[in-house]
Amino acid sequence: MSENDTKKAAILESLQCGSSNTEAYEAAGVKERTFYRWCDKPDFFKQCEAARELGNVTRVARVVDVLYLKALKGDLGAICFYLKNRASRDWKEKQELTLDEDTLNIIRLPAKKPIGTNIVNADASKSEE
């Protein structure tokens, strides 16, 4: 295995562990320009993409673990967040309303005139006489 192959393997391993591109090529002792030149080759680019996807799964799993541990320690925010996202069917803030025909009829009622409007009109008609 050549030195370049060894460095490429180190980059892929770092990406799989959740490192960024920069962290990966710096840890392997590769210059940025060299890394992106290697990425111009379709095979290495595909390998990097696959490694980044696996790395993303790794990072998300770590965050989920930390969130879960915080929830177990009684952190209310972590508890709420975890339940809303992991058991959203039973734990949600959104309220669902169903309207039956009676409720719709109440909503459709015409607006009533304010109290006292007829009295004002009656006084106005007396002054016209």
In a domain, 61, yes or no: yes
Whether 106 and 92 have beta carbons less than 8 Å apart is answered as no
Place of tokens 């965050």: 63
Which residue type is seen at 27?
A: A
Which residues neighbour 92 within 8 Å (Cβ) at sequence distance 6 or greater? 84
Q: In angstroms, rounded to a whole number, what is the distance separating the alpha carbons of residues 127 and 129?
A: 5
For the stretch 63-78, pLDDT in tens is 999 999 999 999 999 9
Type of residue numbered 43: D
- Match 């591109």 to its residue by tokens: 21
Inside any domain, residue 107: no
Question: What pTM does this model have?
Answer: 0.55
| Helix, strand, coil distribution of the chain in percent, nearest 5 | 70, 0, 30
Give a yes or no: residue 109 inside a domain. Answer: no
In a domain, 124, yes or no: no
Structurally, how many domains does the chain consist of?
A: 1
Separation in Å, CA 84 to CA 18, 76, 87, 95? 26, 12, 6, 13
In a domain, 108, yes or no: no
Cα dihedral 18, 22, 26, 32, rounded to 10, equals 140
Q: What is the pLDDT of residue 13?
A: 96
Give a yes or no: residue 110 inside a domain: no
Tens of pLDDT along 9-59? Answer: 999 999 999 999 999 999 999 999 999 999 999 999 999 999 999 999 988
Domain extent for 70: 3-102
